A and B are shown apart, each in its own frame.
Chain A
Amino acid sequence: EPEVTQTPSHQVTQMGQEVILRCVPISNHLYFYWYRQILGQKVEFLVSFYNNEISEKSEIFDDQFSVERPDGSNFTLKIRSTKLEDSAMYFCASSRLTKPQHFGDGTRLSIL
């Protein structure tokens, strides 16, 4: 069965550095999402992406965040200048319209 794959599984970065989290969605899916889960808290929506543009973003998704689909397969989340509070598990998901979202295994981001 097709899967959403995320790399790396764990990223450790110094505060202020830029990080790029990578995702390969399921190939025939058209909707892409990033969510995050701070340790001990619920999963929160960050951004959704459709037709090569952001379709919705949350208040969390401020100017330090950006998303890109640089080619036909990858979907990336960039955090420009990381803060301690960016430490979280970041999940990528993809779906077809009105169908269930399929999640990757997540990238655990630790900011030191």
Chain B
Amino acid sequence: KNEVEQSPQNLTAQEGEFITINCSYSVGISALHWLQQHPGGGIVSLFMLSSGKKKHGRLIATINIQEKHSSLHITASHPRDSAVYICAVRRLQGAQKLVFGQGTRLTINP
């Protein structure tokens, strides 16, 4: 069983829609990351969370440690938001490495 599960795997929406991508994990964590991977393959870090909520522009990330769940929201979505969004966790026990979810492919149509 994957330690990090994302849903949905694919999401297509119209420009302007409110987008939610979900991430559930099964291990104790010290931090959760949301990452964006563009069609060319490069990975950009969006957020690192250990509790509560963070906001950057139109992006909002929340985490519920008790429920082992995080969400990434995009408000007023735009075609340039089209990318793969990846949830990754850093386990509580020692290691610095990230364990990745399988990603959510988001397509925003104009």
Contact residues of A with B, CB < 8 Å? 31, 33, 35, 37, 41-45, 48, 50, 55-56, 58, 89, 91, 95, 97-106, 108
Q: How far is the CA of A99 from the CA of B44 in the complex (A)?
A: 14
Q: Which residues of B contact A58 (CB under 8 A)?
A: 97
Q: By the criterion CB–CB under 8 Å, are A56 and B95 in contact? A: yes
Q: By the criterion CB–CB under 8 Å, are B96 and A105 in contact? A: no
Q: Which residues of A contact B97 (CB under 8 A)?
A: 33, 45, 48, 56, 58
Answer yes or no: B72 CB below 8 A from chain A CBs. Answer: no
Q: How far is the CA of A48 from the CA of B38 in the complex (A)?
A: 24
Contact residues of B with A, CB < 8 Å? 30-31, 33, 35, 40-45, 48, 86, 88, 95-103
Q: By the criterion CB–CB under 8 Å, are A101 and B98 in contact? A: yes
Which residue of the partner chain, among A41, A97, A103, A108, contacts B43 with CB atoms under 8 Å?
A103
Q: How far is the CA of A89 from the CA of B86 in the complex (A)?
A: 16
Which residue of the partner chain, among B45, B96, B100, contacts A102 with CB atoms under 8 Å?
B45
Q: How far is the CA of A70 from the CA of B103 in the complex (A)?
A: 34
Q: Which residues of A contact B88 (CB under 8 A)?
A: 43
How far apart are B33's CB and chain A's nearest CB, in angstroms? Answer: 7
